[in-house]
Chain A
Amino acid sequence: MSKLIVDELITQTANRLFSEICSHEAIQNAETVGEAPEIWAAYTETGFPWISIDENLGGSGGTLLDALEVLRLVGYYAVPVPAAETGILGGWLLSEAGFQVPEGIVTVLPDQGPDLAIKVDGSQVSITGSAIRVPWARSAEIIAILFHDNGNNYVASVQASDCAITPMTNMAGEPRDTVRFDGVVCSYAEVSKAIDSQSFRFRGALSRVALMAGAIEKMSQMTVSYTNDRVQFGRPVARFQAVQQHLVWAAQDAALSRMAAESAAIEATRGNGAFEIASAKLIANQAASRATKACHQAHGAMGMTQEYPLHHYSRRLWSWRKEYGGDAEWSQWIGQLAVAQGADGLYPLITGGSRVL
Chain B
Amino acid sequence: MRFNPTELSSSELALQTEVRQFLKTELAPGTHEPCLGMAARKDKSFSMKMAERGWVGMALPKAWGGSDRTAVDRFIVVEEMLRWGAPVGHHWVADRQTGSVILKFGTDEQRKRFLPAICRGELGFSIGMSEPDSGSDLASVSTRAERATGGWLINGTKIWTSGAHENDWFVCLLRTSAMEDGNKHAGLSQILIDLQSDGLEISPIPFLDGSHHFNEVTFNDVFVPDENVVGDVGMGWHQNTTEMAYERGGPDRWLSPFSTIEQLLREAKDTPLEQSVQSLFGELIARYWGIRNLSLSVARLIDSGEAPSIESSLVKEMGTRFEQEVIEKLVQLIELEYSPDSHSLFERMLSQCIVTFPGNTIRGGTIEILRSVAAKGLQGLPV
Contact = CB atoms under 8 A, between A and B. Distances in A.
Nearest to B261: A346
A346 to B, nearest CB: 6
B281 A339 contact: yes
Nearest to A332: B279
A293 to B, nearest CB: 15
Contact of B314 (A252, A275, A336): A252
B167 to A, nearest CB: 29
Contacts of A247: 375, 378-379
B282 A333 contact: yes
Given A252-B318, A343-B263, A347-B83, A335 B282 contact: yes
B279 A353 contact: no
A231 interface: no
Contacts of A252: 314, 317-318
A328 interface: yes
Interface in B271-313: 273, 275, 277-283, 285-294, 297, 311
A248 B383 CA distance: 14
Interface string A1-38: 10000000000000000000000000000000000000
Category for how many chain A residues contact B = 35 or more
A259 B372 contact: no
Interface in A301-357: 327-328, 330-339, 342-344, 346-347, 349-351, 353
B210 to A, nearest CB: 30
Nearest to B376: A244
A255 B285 contact: no
Given A276-B289, A279-B290, A282-B282, A251 B1 contact: yes
Nearest to A278: B286
B371 interface: yes
Contacts of A251: 1, 314, 374, 378
Interface stretch (A155-163, A190-198, A260-268): A260-268
B289 A255 contact: no
B137 interface: no
A258 interface: yes
A332 B294 contact: no
Most chain B CB within 10 A, of A248, A256, A283, is at A248
A262 B280 CA distance: 24
A1 B6 CA distance: 12
14 contacts: A248-B371, A248-B378, A256-B290, A256-B318, A259-B3, A332-B275, A332-B279, A334-B285, A335-B277, A337-B282, A338-B278, A343-B262, A343-B266, A344-B29
A256 B289 CA distance: 10
Contact of A343 (B8, B265, B279): B265
A256 B281 contact: no
B368 interface: yes
B281 A338 contact: yes
B314 A335 contact: no
A32 B210 CA distance: 65
A65 to B, nearest CB: 11
Contacts of B5: 259, 262-263, 266
Contact of A330 (B10, B282, B311): B282
B170 interface: no
A260 B290 contact: yes
A228 interface: yes
B152 interface: no
Category for how many chain B residues contact A = 35 or more
Contacts of A332: 275, 278-279, 282
B258 interface: yes
Interface in A92-144: none
Nearest to B371: A248
Nearest to A281: B286
Given A335-B283, A336-B278, A339-B281, A255 B314 contact: yes
A262 B273 CA distance: 32
Contacts of B3: 255, 258-259
Contact of B279 (A331, A342, A350): A331
B379 A224 contact: yes
B285 A346 contact: yes
B52 interface: no
Nearest to B265: A343
A342 B265 contact: yes
Contacts of A346: 261-262, 265, 285
A282 B262 contact: no
A339 B278 contact: yes
Interface string A235-264: 000100100110110011001111110110
Nearest to A257: B290
Contacts of B294: 255-256, 259
A128 to B, nearest CB: 36
A353 B80 CA distance: 16
A241 B375 CA distance: 9
Contacts of B1: 251, 255
B7 interface: yes
Interface in B71-91: 79-80, 83
A181 to B, nearest CB: 36
- Nearest 10 A/B pairs, CB to CB: A335-B282, A334-B282, A244-B375, A279-B286, A331-B282, A335-B278, A343-B266, A343-B265, A331-B279, A335-B281
A347 B290 contact: no
Given A251-B378, A252-B314, A262-B5, A331 B16 contact: no
A255 B1 CA distance: 9
Contacts of A224: 378-379
A350 B290 CA distance: 9
B269 interface: yes
Contacts of A276: 289
Contacts of B314: 248, 251-252, 255
B285 A338 contact: yes
Interface string B318-331: 10000000000000
B17 to A, nearest CB: 10
B375 A248 contact: yes
B361 to A, nearest CB: 13
Nearest to A263: B5
Given A248-B317, A248-B374, A339-B265, A256 B283 contact: no
A271 to B, nearest CB: 15
A257 B318 CA distance: 13
A347 B374 contact: no
Contacts of B368: 241
Interface in A136-181: none
